[in-house]
Chains A and B, each alone.
Chain A
Amino acid sequence: MALDDARIQALEKKAEAIRETILKMLVAAGSGHTAGPLGMADIFTSFYFEILKHHPANPEWEERDWLILSNGHIVPVRYATMAHAGYFPLAETLTLRKFGSRLQGHPERLRLPGIETTSGPLGSGLAQAAGMAYAFRMDGKKNRVYCITSDGEHDEGNTWEAIMFAGKNKLSNLTVVVDRNNIQIDGMTEDVMPLESLNAKYAAFNWHVLEVNGNDISAFIATVEEAKAIYEKPTVIIAHTIPGKGVPEIEFDYHWHGKPPTKEEAARFLKELRSAGGKVPHEYA
C-alpha cells in the first residue's frame, strides 16, 4: 500500500520532532548514546505511527504486534517515539537515566509498560523475538514480531544461534531489522569485525533478505509490507542508516556512538536539525 505524499511528509515531520526530543533527553541525562537513536528515528517513527498494530493506552493489548529492541542502548529513540505516540507524557522523557525514572538507561520490561523485554546486553533480543514468534505460531496467534538489532551485535554468537533457529523453524511471523549503520564503539564494523556479506549470510541461514535505505520512511514502510507477504521464511531487512542522522556535523562519526552532546553542542545540533527551523528553545540558546 503506497502512502500518499502528505502522509509521508507528516511522518517525516514526526521523525524530526522525535530527533529534537532525543537531543534534549540526552543533554538532560548527561550520558547515553547519540548516533544510533538519531539514525533510527525514521524507522521508529514508521513502526509506531504506521506499521505496528498497537494501543498506546493499552500496551498489553492481546492482539498487538510486538516490537523487540535487541540493541537496548538506542532506547532513547524508542522512549521519545513512545512519548510522541502517547504512551506517556513528553515531559517524562527528560527523566531518562535519572534515579527513580521508568526510563532506565537500558530498557526494562517491568519498569515501563510497552517495553516487551529487557535488553541492553547485546545479542539476546533476536532469540527472544524468535521464541515469541515460535510461541505465537504454536498457539495460532496472529501477532507479528518485529525485532530491531544493531549490526555490531552480529558479532555475538547468541545472535547467530537465533538466526539458525528462526531459519530452521521458518518463522515467517518474525521480521528482523538490522540497523546497518556500520559503526560500533571501537570503530567501523568492517574494521572491528567484518560482517559482510551480511545479506549472503542471512540468505545462507534460510532467511528472506531485503535491503532498504533506513532513513527513507516511504521505502522502509513499503519494505516491511513486502516482508509481511513472505510466508515461507523469516525476513531480515538490512536497513542502511546514517548514524547521527539529522545533525550533519556528527553523521557517520563513530565517536558519537556512545556519548551524549554537551549543552553547547546540543544547541548547535538543534539549530542544524531542520525541525528546529532555526528556533532554538531558550534553555539552549
Chain B
Amino acid sequence: MLNPAAKLIAEPFSAVVPKAPTRDGFGKGVVEAGKADKDLVVLCADLKESTRAEWFEKEFPTRFIEMGVAEQGMATVAAGMALAGKIPFIASYAAFSPGRNYEQIRTTIALNEVPVKICGMHAGVSVGPDGATHQMLEDIALMRALPKMIVINPCDAEEGRKAVVAAAKTPGPMYLRFGRAAVPTITTAETPFAIGKALTLWDPPAGGRKPQVTIFSTGSVTYNALSAARALDADGIGSIVVHVATIKPLDEAAILEAAKRTRRVLTVEEHQINGGFGSAIAEFLSEHCPVPVKRLGINDEFGQSGDPDELIEHYGLGASSIRHAAEVLIHSS
C-alpha cells in the first residue's frame, strides 16, 4: 500500500494524474530560493526557455547571466562567482553540463569545494525525438565519482522544486538532474524531503503480506516503479518501493533496512546501469548486506529517437517491465 507518511497525492494511479516535467520544479524552485537569498544567481548556456532558467530571469533580470553556448565558460565563471560569495545555479542540458564541462567541474567546483549547483536538464532517454546525442545517460556516474559532490535526482516537479530550495541552503557543490518529459506529479508540499533522505512510497501494511523484493528507484521512473508495485500487489506479491532522490550520499540506513527485510533488490534508473544509481546501491549492499541485486537501466548502449513513453518501454523501464523483472528476481533467488 502507499506509505501514508509519504503524503502523496490522493489518487496517484488515476487516469487524470497531474503531469509536469521535473525541469518545471527547477524553474519554480530557483525563483523561490532566489527570493530568500539575494546572492543566488542563475547562469544559462543559450537554453533559458527549455531549462526554465528564464522563469528566474523574469523575476531577477540582473541576477541572470547569459553565457551563450559555452558550458565550460558557464562552469568556470560560476566557480569564480562562487569564490566571490555568490550561489550560482548553472543550467544546461545534462549532455553538455556536466557532459562537456566535466574537467572544469572537477577542478574549479569540486576540488575548490564551492557552492555551484549544476542543474542538468533533459537527462535520460525521455528527451525523446532529439536522439542519442542529447539523451544523457552517464551523468550520475560522472558526478557521483567526484569527491564532495552531492547528487540529487528528483522524481517529479514538486520534489524538484524542494530539491532546488534545499540545494540553495546547502554548502558545497551539487548536481541536480531533471527531465524534459511531463511525468506524474505524485508528491505534495507535505511530502517529506531532505537531502540525503530516501522516501518509502510503498510498503505492505503491518500484518499484511511479507514484502519479497525492494525496488529502489530514482528520478521520474520512480512513478513506474510505484505502478509496478501496485500491479505486483494485485498478483499477491508484496514489495517495497523506496525512492532515492539523493544518490550521493546514500541514505544507508533506509537502504539497509529495506534490503534486510526483503533480501532481494531491484534498482531502477533512466541511466546506464554501469556506474550509476544501481551500481551505487550494489556497491553499498555488497559490503553491508550482500543480497541478490538486479539493476534496471540502460544496458551499455546509447539511446535513439522516439517518443518518451515508447523509449521508456523499449529500454525496459516501464511499469510492466519493472514488474516482470521483479517476478523473475523473486523466482530465481
Contact = CB atoms under 8 A, between A and B. Distances in A.
Interface of A: 66, 108-110, 116-121, 123-124, 127-136, 138-139, 157-158, 161-162, 164-165
Contacts of A124: 72, 76, 79, 104, 107-108
B83 A128 contact: yes
A238 B76 CA distance: 23
Interface string B101-118: 001100110011100000
Contacts of B62: 138
A164 to B, nearest CB: 7
Given A117-B112, A118-B112, A162 B104 contact: no
Interface residues of B, number: 28
Given A128-B83, A132-B83, A132-B84, A162 B77 contact: yes
23 contacts: A66-B84, A108-B111, A124-B76, A124-B79, A124-B104, A124-B108, A127-B72, A128-B76, A128-B77, A130-B80, A131-B77, A131-B81, A131-B83, A132-B81, A135-B81, A135-B84, A135-B86, A136-B84, A138-B86, A157-B72, A162-B77, A165-B68, A165-B77
A127 B65 CA distance: 13
B107 A120 contact: yes
Q: Top 5 nearest A-B pairs by Cβ distance?
A: A131-B80, A161-B73, A127-B76, A128-B80, A135-B84
B147 to A, nearest CB: 12
Given A117-B108, A121-B107, A134 B70 contact: no
B67 interface: yes
Nearest to A137: B84
Contacts of A108: 111
A165 to B, nearest CB: 6
A161 B103 CA distance: 15
A122 to B, nearest CB: 10
A136 B41 CA distance: 13
Contact of B76 (A110, A138, A162): A162
Contacts of B107: 118-121, 124
Nearest to A157: B72
Nearest to B72: A158
A72 to B, nearest CB: 9
B123 interface: no
Nearest to A168: B68
Given A117-B83, A165-B70, 5 more contacts: A124-B108, A128-B76, A128-B108, A161-B70, A164-B70
B7 to A, nearest CB: 39
